[in-house]
Amino acid sequence: MISFFTEKPLACWKGKDPYQGSVLDCLTVIFKTGGCSWNRCRMCGYRHERYPLMSPAELDTHLRAQMAWVQELYPSSGYQMVKIFTSGSFFDEEEIPVQTRRAILEGFRGKLVIAETRPEFVSRETVREARDLVDDGSWGCPLYVATGLETTSDFIREKCIDKGFTLQDFHDAVSEAREGGAGIKTYLMMKPLFLTEKEAMEDMQRSIVEAAPVSDMVSMNLCTVQNRTDVDYYWKRGMYRPPYLWSVLKVLAEAPVHILCDPVGGGHARGPHNCGSCDPEIVRGIREYSLSGDRDLLAALMDSACRCKEEWEFVLAGERPYCMPLTR
């Protein structure tokens, strides 16, 4: 017998998220599932968090137990928005059986739901059904389909991330999701493997400009070094450094739209960081900006002085991609 005492999501927490000019209480849930069907992205540690192979019925039992745990510990009255992540894609029926998906969505009825998925699992029929299940009339748009596009460059997405889909696939999914009545949230990722600091910044700046017109929300994830990933392999050999917080500030300050950003792991060696002493204030500032959209705050932080700023400028000017030989 599985109970919610023994079965809980990979993670679940409450926070705040901005939405159309106000700030909502938001529940984030990362469900443990059958696992990501792609399972190859170079920076992704969640793909290891999966149940061993099991029948859809068993998977259903485990997932319903996780949902019961969420409902017991986080009463519905305590939040308005819910962000659903899995160790892959919420709309992948191999990962979450259809009946289970429906039950989870019904459990969040009345909430503003943001569900993450790879583009190949987005169809207008699936999205329409999901929207109808969560919609009780409280929200103009009760469902957002969220996708980790990461970058609008197909070359960088393929070589540096190994994401396994193209920009065109993303655009097709956006059309399907909109046909199904959902909004679009796009996740971009700052500084995948193999890019210099400057290349990473430019990639993010271009991606924001290109992704914003088709997205209702754009969120910038900052690459962190998760265990048992390619990023971890290279980081341990001194061949990868997570982004400077200075780069993050610059990108946010120059972006044409308000970009959401939670600098997870900020100030730590495995997360986006500067020198260590200026990090806490900047991390706090980025979180504040993400909620308020206050650009004066970004400008003030960007103007603040720290000895590591020169180092960052030196890196931007001097860092070169190093080429591996193509042949032996």
Q: From the list ligand SF4, Zn ion, none, which binds 231 (C-beta under 5 to 8 Å, kind-based)?
A: none
Minimum CB distance to ligand SF4, residue 299 (Å): 33
* Selected binder of ligand SF4 within 26, 27, 44, 222 (CB under 6 A): 44
Q: Which long-range contacts (CB under 8 A, 24 or more apart) does 238-241 make?
A: 240/193, 241/197
Q: Mark 118-137 with x for binding to ligand SF4 (rule: CB under 6 A) and - for no binding.
A: x-------------------
Joined together, the tokens standing for residue 230 give: 């390619």
Site string for Zn ion, 258-277 (x = CB under 5 A): ----------------xx--
- 3 state SS of 76: helix
| CA count, 13 A, side-chain hemisphere, 127 | 28
Binding of ligand SF4 by 145 (CB under 6 A): no
The site for Zn ion, by CB under 5 A, has a size of: 5
Please, which residues have CB within 8 angstroms of residue 205's CB and are 6 or more apart in sequence?
A: 251, 254, 255
Interaction between residue 46 and ligand SF4 (CB under 6 A)? yes
Site for ligand SF4 in 79-108 (CB under 6 A): 88
- Among 26, 29, 30, 41, which residue interacts with ligand SF4 (rule: CB under 6 A)? 41
- Residue type at 244? Y
Check residue 40 for interaction with ligand SF4 (CB under 6 A).
yes
Contact pattern from residue 159 through residue 198 relative to ligand SF4, giving x for each residue in contact according to CB under 6 A and a dash for the rest: ----------------------------------------
Note the residue count of the chain.
328
Q: Is 226 in the site for ligand SF4 (CB under 6 A)?
A: no
> Cβ closer to Zn ion: 30 or 252?
252
Closest distance of CB 148 from ligand SF4, Å: 6
Q: Is 74 in the site for ligand SF4 (CB under 6 A)?
A: no
Place of tokens 């030196």: 314
Q: From ligand SF4, Zn ion, none, which one binds at residue 38 (CB under 5 to 8 Å depending on kind)?
A: ligand SF4
Radius of gyration over every alpha carbon of the chain, rounded to an integer in angstroms: 20
Residue 190: CB minimum distance to ligand SF4, A: 15
Quick one: three-class SS letters along 210-253? HHHHHCCEEEEEECCCCCCCHHHHHHHCCCCCCCCHHHHHHHHH
**Token reading at 214:** 């088709």
Which amino acid, one-letter code, is at 201? M
> Could you please report the per-residue DSSP string of 98-165?
HHHHHHHHHHTTTSEEEEE--GGG--HHHHHHHHHHH-SSS-SS-EEEEEEEE-S-HHHIIIII----
Residues 281-320 that bind Zn ion (CB under 5 A): 306, 308
In one letter, which amino acid is 236? K
Partner that binds at residue 308, options Zn ion, ligand SF4, none, CB closer than 5 to 8 Å by kind? Zn ion
Are residues 208 and 169 in contact, defined by beta-carbon separation less than 8 angstroms? no
The site for Zn ion (CB under 5 A) is made up of: 274-275, 278, 306, 308
The site for ligand SF4 (CB under 6 A) is made up of: 36, 38-41, 44, 46-47, 88, 118, 148
